[in-house]
Every structure is written in C-alpha cells, then in structure tokens.
Chains A and B, each alone.
Chain A
Amino acid sequence: MTELSAVARRAVEAATGAGAGDAEAYVSREGGREVRVHGGEVESLAAATQSGVGIRAWDGHRVGYAYGTDLSDAGVAAIAAKAAEAAAVADEDEFAAPPQPAEIEAVPGLGDPSIAEWETARVADLALTVERTALGSDPRLVAVETAVYADSDEQVAIASSTGVAGSYEASSAYAYLSALAEGEGGARETGLGFGLARGPRGLDPEAIGAEGARRALAMIGAGKPASRSCPVVLDETVAASFAGLIGGGLSAKAVQRGRSPFAGRLEEEVASGTFVLHDDGRDPLGPASAPFDAEGVPRRRTALIEGGRLRSYLFDTYTANREGVSSTGSASRQGYRSLPSVSTSNLMVAPGELSLDGLLARAGDGVYVTDVAGLHSGVNPVTGVFSVGASGRIIRDGALAEPVREFTIAGELAAMLGAVSAAGAEPRWVPFGGSVSTPPLLIAEMAISGS
C-alpha cells in the first residue's frame, strides 16, 4: 500500500516536472482469480494480477490524461510526460481544476480474509456446488451452460499536487450460473442465479444454483402475452437495471450538457412518493463502497429522489465547480485506464412494506417481469424513451400464472417513476445497472407489446 502511494507521489512529481501546473495520479493493483466449471469439471482456472497508473495533468484550465502499466521510474516519467502533452491539445475550460484535499474517513468491512484463506480447490468446489445444485433440482434442468466463481482484491492509492492523498483496499467475490431447462419439444430456457459478497464465505452456492434452476424452470412453455397496458411488477434484477438508467440521468454531466430527461427538474415532482432513491458510497455492504471516489473526494450518502421530488444530481469536482456546489463524491473510473467521470456508486432504492405476494395481489392482473434484454440499444438516455425485450410470468387474480417471453415493455423513464405504486419489503444487491440495492417494484401501468 505504501508502495502504491509512493508510485502515486512519484507520478505527480514527474508530471509537474514535465510542465503540468497541477497533477493527480491514481494507482491501482488488483489480484484476482476466476473459476469456470462445466459438467462437473473445472473448465478454466485463471489467476491474474494487474497494476497501472493514470495521470491527470492540468495546464491552467486544460486537462490531459495518460495511463500505462509500466510503474518503473522511467515508465512513470514517460506516462507523466504524455499527460502533460495531452493537456496542451485540450481547450480551456474555466471549471477544470484539481480537487482540493478533504478529511477522508475509512469505511469498515471492505475486505474479507476468506479470499486469501480459501484455496483455489475450495472456491472451485464452490462453483461445482452451484452447478450440481442446479442440475439436481429437477429432471427438466438438463444442463448448466456455465457456472463461475470469481474474486478480486484491489488496492488503490491517489495523490495530487494540491495535497490529496489516500489509499484503501477492497475485495469482492461473486458466483453465477446460467442454467438450461428443457420443456416438451426440446425448447430450452435459461435461468440466471447469482450472489455477491466481499469474499467466498459470504456466498451461498446452493441458493445461487437453486435460483438459476428456478428461473429456468419457471420459463418452460412460455408463450407471448397479448399486447396491452397493464400493471407490471419488476423483480429486483429488472428494477435494478431501470434504477441504473435513472442514476445515469442524474449525473450532473448529462444534465449540464442537456443530455438527461431530468435536466432542469431539480425540486420538481419526478416520481410517485413511493419511489425513494439514494446514492450511498459508504454502505458497508455496497459493492462500490470506498472511503473516497476516483478523484480522492470522500464518498457520501446523497438523497436523489425523496417525497416524489428530485433532490439532487450527482457531482464530481468539475460539474460541481460549474454549478457552484460541492462534489457529492461521485467521480468513478473504469480502473486506471479512464479519466474520472460522474457516475453512481451504490444506488439504493428504499424498500416498502409489501412481500412479493403482496405486490402481486396488489397488481391483480398484469405481468411479472423477471428479465429484460437490449437495454443498451432500447433506451434513449437523453429522452428517457425506452422499449426493451422482456420475459416473465403473467399475474392473474393476484398470483403468478403461466410464463411469457418475446414481448417488449415500453414507455418513458419519468412516466414510469410516476407510476411506481408500491415497493417490496426485501431489497437485494444486484450487479446490474451499476451496483444497486432494490426491492421488487409495482408499476401501476406499462405498455406491453406481444402478440
């Protein structure tokens, strides 16, 4: 850790030495492994370490960026020089300025010793148990396309010429499978099961395998629903995907650049009172939690939508400067390769009071959506208009009935938020839409297009 911090400091010095007025270095080192199993055997076993540095250089109000994997003195100096060079190509932007240091408080519980303690054979067993549980659940569960266990342990250090300095270590582990069920006539259905934790001991392989099997089996014999408008219950995975889209629209960058359906709507009514949304970068259970964001600003909890009104956007230092407010600690990066940009940390949709059965009963007649496809192409993030592929179950007389697939759900994000009429009582962490904790949600009305 001290070694990474030293690299970061060295990189900052190299950049200012190369002519940058200010500089910031983000250094990460990640060790990880992944086990894929198939048919009771280990299919692949991967072990890896990777490290790199990303350097942001300011030349007045021009910013440049460079990254690389060579952490030797000469390597870092070359990257620093490229960052300073890149800054000269950018145009002046009066709001581009390095973040100032702030008190950083540690977030407890980001690591899990079981990652180091569990040997590869033991985590391979975990993945094999996931597969075996699914295969043993029902004769119609004919295969598991793939079952995976993966973990990683990441160390991050940041330093800047303005005095930002910090480091942390966080671990994560997950397992998932794609189970295949076969109905009469040989048509196959897939079912996803997954679990997330800080380390392997936090995963329940039987529960993961059983979920994949349950989802695949539930889809056997699915037909197309009739086109109509009706109440829709989104399960946690689907609700998370939509929450992620909304989180994207609440980025101050999208808002300031006129590319968000939420632009200009601060303090306006944007949702029903039932839909309450926070971004929390410090929740001890949140996969994206950290003491500070991708530019060293402390992570925090931010109310986004409360009482039906839009309470705040998400800001990094640049967008906050532009608005004359403080950063919400919402700068993120895809590792050292990318410039920091505004994004959600852990999105938290507040739970309500109803069980899933309660939500279905409240829906009466409608559709329970358990999977959506085509989010990257079927949603316009600027306008919020969406039409995406879906599958799930019919809700009849307040209970789950036959499975349905090959239909679309369509609408507009803001209208959908206004139609959220109930939230389930049990939230779940889902790795879709970023990192999201959400219960299932009842939408009073949505357009279904099927047969």
Chain B
Amino acid sequence: MSGLIDQAVAERVLARALANGGLFAEVFAERRQGQTLAIDERRIESVQAGAEEGAGVRVVDGNTTYFAHVDGLDPAELERAAEEAAGALRAARTEPRPLQAREATPLPIERRPENVPAERKAELLRELDERARGKGGEIAQVNASYAEARREIAVANSDGLFTGDDRTRVRIGVQTVAKRDGTVETGAETLGAHRGFELLEDDPGQIAEQAAAKALTLLDAVPAPSGSMPVVVGGGFGGVLFHEMTGHGLEADHIQKGASVYVGKLGESVAEPLLNAYDDGRLPGEWGSDAIDDEGQPTQKTQVIEDGRLTSYLYDRLTGERDGAASTGNGRRESFRHLPIPRMTNTYIAPGDATPEAIIAGVSRGFYAVSFGGGQVDPATGDFVFGVSEGYLIENGKVTSPCRGATLIGNCLEALAAIDAVGNDFFMKTGICGKGGQKVPVGTGQGHVRVRAMTVGGTER
C-alpha cells in the first residue's frame, strides 16, 4: 500500500481505535509532496517545494464520528491518534476484522513531474509569458503558475479493507491584464489533469494565448445587460452550472439533513427528457478522477439524471449506510487532516444532438456565457450565482458585443427544468471545489447548453 503503513501497524491502530467500543474504525495515511512556481513581471518567483506526512483516525459509533489526526507516520504517533479518537467512548471493546490487502490500480503517470528539472518548468512559464504577451501590446501584465502535487494514500478499516492509491496532478494557469486608454480588463485560463508532465508536452502555450485573447476581447465590452432572458452556456467549464445547480444538492449529507431542494425528488422528473448527467470518478486522466475515493471505495460512474429523471444521490460510506445504499465512491477529503464527506468527482451533462450554432440561432435576444470565474449555491434554498468571466450578447440568433461584469443568478429547480437544448460539443475543464472548509479537485463538463430564462445581473444602467 504505497509503503505508507505496515499491515500489522494498521491492524494495531484499528484495534486501539475500537478499544473503547464503536462500530467502525478507519486509519487514513497520506504522504503529499508538491512543487509550485510562478512567473510575474517576466521574473520566475515563488519557487517552493513541500512535503507533508500524516494520518487521520476515525471511529464511528451510532451517529457520532470521533476523529483525530497527527503529523508523521510513526507507529507510536498513529496509535496515539487512535487513542485520542477513541478517548470519548466508554463502551466495551469491539474487534476489527483482519485486514485483506486489495490492490487498486492508480491512474497511469507517464512522466513523473518530480523527475522533471525545475528549470524545465521555469522555461515553460517563460513560454507562457511570451505567448500571452505576443498577442499584442495591449497586454500589460501576465502572470502564470505551475503546480504539481503527488498524494500517496493508504486506507485501512475495521471491515478488513486495506488499500491505497497514488495520485499525481499537474496544473498550469495564466492570468492576463489588458489595457487601452482608461480601460482595464482581465483574462484567465487553466489546464490541469490527473496526469504527469506529459500533460504539458502538447503545446500548453495555447492557454496563454487564450487568456490574453479573453482580456483583449473584453476591451471592447459593453456593460452586461440586466434582467431575465435566455442564456446559452458554453462547453467545458460551463458545466460548473450543473455542478452548482444540481451536483451539490445531490450530495447525500445535504439530502439527509433536509438541506437540499432535491429531497424527495428521486425518481421524479426534474428536467426535460433531453438531459442526461453523470458523476464519474473514473474518466481517464481527468482532474477529478482517482482510482479509489478517500475511504478506499473504487470510484465509479453514477448516472444522476436519466432522460430528465433524478436517478441517484452521491454517497460516501456513512450517508450510504444511513440510506441503506452503497457508497457511490464519492467519499473525499482534502487531506489526512479532514473527515471524508460526499463530494463530486467529475460531473457533467452528457452530450446532446444540437450544434452550438443551432443553439445560439434559436435565441432572438439573450446572453451567451462562455466561461465562468466560478459559482456558489445554497443547496437548502437552491439559490445559486455564477460570475461570468467571458460573456456576449446574443441578438437575432447571432453572438454580438462582449459584455463585462455579468453574474447569472437563479434557483436550481427552475433553472434545471429550463434547460431546453444540449450541444454535441462536449469537453471537460478543471475546478477547485470548496465545501465545509475542504477543497478538492473536481472536473466539470458539458457541450453548449441553453436555459430558456435566467436572471442576468449586469451593470448596465
């Protein structure tokens, strides 16, 4: 199991964790290391490397979870964590099952980023800088970053599970500032994957040009309109719409606490029959993919909407048990310092039949949101909001002026039901999702999608 933790040690820790009772115990060990660097004002800076090791132990008894974590993987420290987690329990000892090692196959990494010289990464950043600036003299500022992270994990639990994973992710990002007279605009683009340095072998400089183009386009922008209108959402990161609008509301912890507008909607029609959507933690190389989740459950492809009907919630182990359902492999945690909770992996709307052109042509006056800075939802009320980073007016079926300062706002159930076209131009993008103070990498995807009516909140007077 990645050599992180010895089977005999894991068994001792689990036995210690259940020494004062409890129905379930787990030890999660992790080694994380990474490197990041940046370029700003044409200078390589913020070069940093980090390495952390530690473990979290939890004991579950009834509805209560006891959790403790320690730095380091020293067996004595792990036992101390187990003792601390079990400290508040006062029942009779329960016995863990003997561990049975189960090998998971980590996602393949062709070129380990830690074996690539840092100077090569610095060169890549210089190329990104050059490519962005090469888009024209109006590009006033460029900064770009490179990050690699490797997480080796091992999970052992009192049901006898003993498994592990070895995950490597690489991501680059470019931010640009364009200036013309008194007008200032920004553009950003990212590229990331659960892959090694091979991700960056195929012209990563494209994203620098795309980031620059976004900022330059916005120099000609008009203030975004305000009011309710048809909205066409672009492919890729446009999937953040579904992530916020539906994905979070399907996470079983929200459902079980009555804090989701999707409570009681399983099996019901929540969208037009043209809509099919999935959470899939097994997409090869995708940013949100892993071999297993952070509870050792193999990741899987879960259809959450089938022909417009809601077909599944997203479960981790505990919420699954409560509903008499199996985990859907969505128990994720930011690190050994966090408890696993139900989280999305890669969430997407499956491709439809319409071409993007036809989807846009069907709008006489509306808004075209190509990409987003991000979004936020309150799953309990269903209120959501998305900041548009690249948007345009649609007039008479044609994309016209770029717009600045637009936000889309609405309510999940209404907006989901209002999706009336799904494009055939599917692709995935990367995101970082925050929930309960934990950040995890997630993929979002879709082709172009049209929403009959949504509120655009702009600055137009």
- Check A391 for interface membership: any CB of B closer than 8 A: yes
Contact B53 A69 (CB under 8 A): yes
Chain A residues with Cβ below 8 Å from B53 are: 69-70
CA distance A391 to B457 in the complex (A): 13
For B378, give its contact among A45, A229, A373, A377 (CB under 8 Å): A373
One of B13-21, B272-280, B359-367, B379-387 contacting the partner? B379-387
Contact A385 B459 (CB under 8 A): yes
Chain A residues with Cβ below 8 Å from B224 are: 387
- Check A91 for interface membership: any CB of B closer than 8 A: yes
Which chain B residues in 59-105 approach chain A with CB under 8 Å? 62-72, 84-85, 87-88
Contact B407 A391 (CB under 8 A): no
Which chain B residues in 23-56 approach chain A with CB under 8 Å? 37, 40-41, 43-54
CA distance A373 to B375 in the complex (A): 9
- Check A48 for interface membership: any CB of B closer than 8 A: yes
Contact A43 B407 (CB under 8 A): no
Chain A residues with Cβ below 8 Å from B87 are: 47
A231 to chain B, nearest CB (A): 16
Contact A65 B48 (CB under 8 A): yes
Which chain B residues in 113-132 approach chain A with CB under 8 Å? 118-119, 121-122
B interface residues, tally (CB under 8 Å): 80
Contact A178 B47 (CB under 8 A): no
Identity of the chain B residue whose Cβ is nearest the Cβ of A67 in the assembled complex: B50
Chain B residues with Cβ below 8 Å from A85 are: 49, 118
Identity of the chain B residue whose Cβ is nearest the Cβ of A29 in the assembled complex: B71
A339 to chain B, nearest CB (A): 6
Given contacts A86-B118, A187-B381, A190-B380, contact A378 B49 (CB under 8 A): no
Chain B residues with Cβ below 8 Å from A407 are: 409, 455, 457
Contact A410 B458 (CB under 8 A): yes
Return the CB mask of A61-85 against B: 1 if under 8 Å, else 0: 0011111111000000011001101
A337 to chain B, nearest CB (A): 6
Contact B48 A373 (CB under 8 A): no
Contact A47 B67 (CB under 8 A): yes
Identity of the chain A residue whose Cβ is nearest the Cβ of B224 in the assembled complex: A387
A380 to chain B, nearest CB (A): 6
B412 to chain A, nearest CB (A): 11
One of A109-117, A139-147, A434-442 contacting the partner? A139-147
CA distance A92 to B47 in the complex (A): 12
Chain B residues with Cβ below 8 Å from A45 are: 64-67, 88
Contact A388 B50 (CB under 8 A): no
CA distance A78 to B51 in the complex (A): 10
For B69, give its contact among A48, A86, A406 (CB under 8 Å): A48
CA distance A323 to B66 in the complex (A): 51
Return the CB mask of B171-206 against A: 1 if under 8 Å, else 0: 000000101000011100000000000000000000
Identity of the chain B residue whose Cβ is nearest the Cβ of A336 in the assembled complex: B50
CA distance A340 to B65 in the complex (A): 36
- Check A202 for interface membership: any CB of B closer than 8 A: no
Return the CB mask of A382-401 against B: 1 if under 8 Å, else 0: 11011111010000000000
Contact B45 A189 (CB under 8 A): no
Contact B66 A66 (CB under 8 A): no
Contact B47 A406 (CB under 8 A): no
- Check B140 for interface membership: any CB of A closer than 8 A: yes
Contact A388 B66 (CB under 8 A): no
Identity of the chain A residue whose Cβ is nearest the Cβ of B264 in the assembled complex: A186
One of A49-57, A158-166, A277-285, A296-304 contacting the partner? A49-57
Given contacts A67-B50, A89-B37, A90-B44, contact A373 B383 (CB under 8 A): yes
Chain A residues with Cβ below 8 Å from B384 are: 373, 389
Contact B177 A382 (CB under 8 A): yes
- Check A411 for interface membership: any CB of B closer than 8 A: yes
CA distance A412 to B184 in the complex (A): 13
Contact A82 B49 (CB under 8 A): yes
Contact B339 A44 (CB under 8 A): yes
Which chain A residues in 407-432 approach chain B with CB under 8 Å? 407-412
B159 to chain A, nearest CB (A): 20
Chain B residues with Cβ below 8 Å from A180 are: 258-259, 380
CA distance A382 to B405 in the complex (A): 12
Contact B68 A377 (CB under 8 A): no
For A378, give its contact among B254, B383, B385 (CB under 8 Å): B385
CA distance A39 to B265 in the complex (A): 23
CA distance A314 to B242 in the complex (A): 39
CA distance A51 to B53 in the complex (A): 11
Chain B residues with Cβ below 8 Å from A92 are: 43
- Check B228 for interface membership: any CB of A closer than 8 A: yes
- Check A188 for interface membership: any CB of B closer than 8 A: yes
CA distance A77 to B373 in the complex (A): 41
- Check A374 for interface membership: any CB of B closer than 8 A: yes
Contact B177 A259 (CB under 8 A): yes
Contact A49 B71 (CB under 8 A): yes
CA distance A257 to B47 in the complex (A): 18
Identity of the chain B residue whose Cβ is nearest the Cβ of A227 in the assembled complex: B226
CA distance A228 to B87 in the complex (A): 58
One of A18-26, A203-211, A352-360, A443-451 contacting the partner? A443-451
Q: What's the dominant secondary structure at chain A's contact region?
A: strand
Identity of the chain A residue whose Cβ is nearest the Cβ of B179 in the assembled complex: A258
Identity of the chain A residue whose Cβ is nearest the Cβ of B85 in the assembled complex: A47
Contact A449 B456 (CB under 8 A): yes
A220 to chain B, nearest CB (A): 11
Contact B50 A337 (CB under 8 A): yes
CA distance A409 to B409 in the complex (A): 11
- Check A271 for interface membership: any CB of B closer than 8 A: no
CA distance A51 to B37 in the complex (A): 24
CA distance A205 to B254 in the complex (A): 24
Chain B residues with Cβ below 8 Å from A382 are: 177, 184, 186
- Check A379 for interface membership: any CB of B closer than 8 A: yes
CA distance A213 to B337 in the complex (A): 31
Contact A93 B43 (CB under 8 A): yes
Which chain B residues in 337-392 approach chain A with CB under 8 Å? 337, 339, 372-376, 378, 380-381, 383-387, 389
Contact B63 A64 (CB under 8 A): no
- Check B309 for interface membership: any CB of A closer than 8 A: no
- Check A87 for interface membership: any CB of B closer than 8 A: yes
Given contacts A46-B68, A449-B457, contact A386 B405 (CB under 8 A): yes
Contact B407 A387 (CB under 8 A): yes
Given contacts A43-B65, A451-B228, contact A38 B257 (CB under 8 A): yes
CA distance A258 to B118 in the complex (A): 28
Return the CB mask of A122-144 against B: 1 if under 8 Å, else 0: 00000000000000000000110
B206 to chain A, nearest CB (A): 23
Contact A388 B44 (CB under 8 A): no
Given contacts A64-B48, A259-B177, A383-B185, contact A44 B380 (CB under 8 A): no
Chain A residues with Cβ below 8 Å from B46 are: 65, 90, 339
CA distance A259 to B141 in the complex (A): 8
- Check A405 for interface membership: any CB of B closer than 8 A: yes
Chain A residues with Cβ below 8 Å from B108 are: none
Contact A258 B72 (CB under 8 A): no
Which chain B residues in 236-267 approach chain A with CB under 8 Å? 254, 257-259, 261
- Check B411 for interface membership: any CB of A closer than 8 A: yes
Chain A residues with Cβ below 8 Å from B405 are: 380, 385-387, 410
> A residues touching B (Cβ–Cβ < 8 Å)?
38-39, 41-52, 63-70, 78-79, 82-83, 85-87, 89-93, 120, 142-143, 145-146, 178, 180, 187-190, 219, 224, 227, 229, 257-259, 337, 339, 373-374, 376-380, 382-383, 385-389, 391, 405-412, 447, 449-451
Question: Apart from A44-B65, A69-B54, A389-B385, what 19 extra A-B contacts exist at CB < 8 Å?
Answer: A41-B63, A43-B64, A47-B84, A63-B45, A65-B48, A67-B48, A70-B53, A82-B49, A87-B47, A93-B43, A145-B258, A178-B259, A227-B226, A257-B141, A258-B179, A337-B52, A377-B387, A408-B409, A451-B455
Question: What are 22 inter-chain pairs, A to B, with CB distance below 8 A?
Answer: A42-B64, A47-B87, A48-B337, A70-B51, A90-B46, A92-B43, A190-B378, A190-B381, A219-B381, A257-B40, A257-B141, A339-B48, A374-B407, A376-B376, A382-B184, A383-B184, A406-B410, A406-B411, A407-B455, A408-B385, A409-B457, A451-B455
Top 4 closest pairs, chain A to chain B, by CB: A408-B457, A377-B387, A389-B385, A377-B373
